[in-house]
Amino acid sequence: EVQLVESGGGLVQPGGSLRLSCAASGFTFMNYDMSWVRQAPGKGLEWVSLIRGGFGTIFYADSVKGRFTVSRDNAKNLLYLQMNNLKTEDTAVYYCSTVTAMNCRGPCYPTQFGYRGQGTQVTVSS
């Protein structure tokens, strides 16, 4: 059974930092392209970061570039998202997800997602 379990969310002030983790099981994690996606209240899913399986090539959405860092530990089946200089507009539920399709005409971005965890709430507020 595939499982993705996110953790590390919480309430943080603008300018603060959080580190999200995603524990994966039930599939060969190292072979999968993985993404962090988020959903703000009343809005659709927005991809945040993409880290390829294999060589681990990384891509970010423009909205988080320079502030967020994605990484993975294939030995421990863990995916991370280090979020620095958080802004109120980063408030959302954050999910880790497998990626089943992407567009690589230019920098890659995911276009279709597979398995997704239950999410972890990130609230940025003073």
Answer for the pair 101, 111: CB distance below 8 angstroms, yes or no: yes
pLDDT(55) > 90 = no
Report residue 24's pLDDT band, with 50, 70 and 90 as the boundaries: very high
pLDDT at 79: 98
Mean pLDDT of the chain: 97
pLDDT(11) > 90 = yes
pLDDT at 54: 85
Model confidence pLDDT, tens digit, residues 89-114? 999 999 999 999 999 999 999 999 99
First to last CA, the chain: 40
Report residue 32's pLDDT band, with 50, 70 and 90 as the boundaries: very high
